[in-house]
């Protein structure tokens, strides 16, 4: 369903995977990668968004470190490499690349609205995208380290939805409580908590995938995006 395109950012060009709907797109959505790169799972997320009527684009945000990263969560070696990439990743440059991708995507939909959706590391980046770019809406799934960037929330001026797994092994309860306290009163922010879920509960094939919870979260996401990007 998809194709690879070149997006020009402030530091150079990088690849992005584009999935197009069958008919005219409702809007565009930037699909922001986990720590495994724009792998089959992320391309699948973009394809899902395209089936829902959006033009989806997933940029390769690790391109400065290693272009074309395509890992799975199925081996210890891949996890080790993924964590190494995450630890060396510059989030500010990632947000700049997302802004360039938003501008590119806006051109593909005739200047229309562009949202963002991200998972894990991409969940943090979706939050930062809401804080620091001109996106029209953003959704973050089990974003890591958001509690350490709550000061950025002053920049949120468009709708943001966060899905938070209450048993997240990477986002413990104190961090969740900080997010609830720091963002819960923001009129732009909608928080959804999933009591029995661990990190990556919507990653198909992952150890913590929960089909029922994923269906609920994804249903909320699509309804939110269709309203916010209408």
- CA-nearest of 82, 23, 32 to 54 is 23
- CA-nearest of 86, 135, 97 to 6 is 97
- The catalytically annotated residue of 60, 199, 208, 218 is 199
CB 43 within 8 A of CB 58: yes
Q: From CA 32, how far away is CA 52, in angstroms rounded?
A: 17
Specify whether 199 is catalytic. Answer: yes
Alpha helices of 7-90 — where are they, by DSSP H?
A: 40-51, 76-88
- The catalytically annotated residue of 60, 73, 147, 168 is 168
For every residue of 159-228, DSSP letters joined together read -EEEEEETT-TTS-HHHHHHHHHHHTT-TTEEEEEETT--TTTTSTTSTT--HHHHHHHHHHHHHHHHHH
Specify whether 168 is catalytic. Answer: yes
What residues act catalytically? 168, 199
């Amino acid at each position: 369903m998809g194709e690879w395109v070149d997006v020009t950012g402030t530091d150079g060009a990088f690849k992005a995977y584009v999935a197009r709907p069958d008919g005219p797109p409702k809007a565009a959505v930037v699909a922001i990668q986990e720590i495994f790169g724009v792998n089959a799972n992320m391309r699948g997320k973009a394809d899902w968004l395209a089936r829902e009527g959006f033009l989806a684009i997933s940029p390769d945000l690790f391109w400065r470190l290693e272009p074309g990263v395509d890992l799975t969560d199925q081996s210890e070696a891949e996890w080790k490499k993924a964590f190494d990439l995450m630890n060396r990743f510059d989030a500010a440059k990632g947000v700049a690349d997302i802004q360039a991708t938003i501008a590119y995507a806006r051109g593909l939909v005739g200047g229309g609205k562009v949202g963002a959706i991200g998972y894990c590391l991409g969940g943090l980046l979706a939050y930062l995208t809401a804080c620091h770019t001109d996106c029209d809406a953003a959704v973050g799934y089990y974003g890591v380290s958001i509690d350490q960037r709550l000061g950025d929330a002053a920049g949120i001026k468009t709708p943001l939805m966060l899905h938070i797994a209450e048993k997240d092994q990477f986002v413990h309860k104190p961090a969740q409580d900080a997010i609830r306290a720091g963002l819960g009163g923001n009129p732009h922010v909608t928080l959804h908590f999933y009591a029995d879920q661990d990190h990556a509960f919507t990653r198909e094939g992952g150890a913590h995938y929960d089909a029922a919870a994923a269906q609920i979260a994804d249903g909320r996401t699509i309804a939110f995006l269709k309203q916010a990007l209408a």
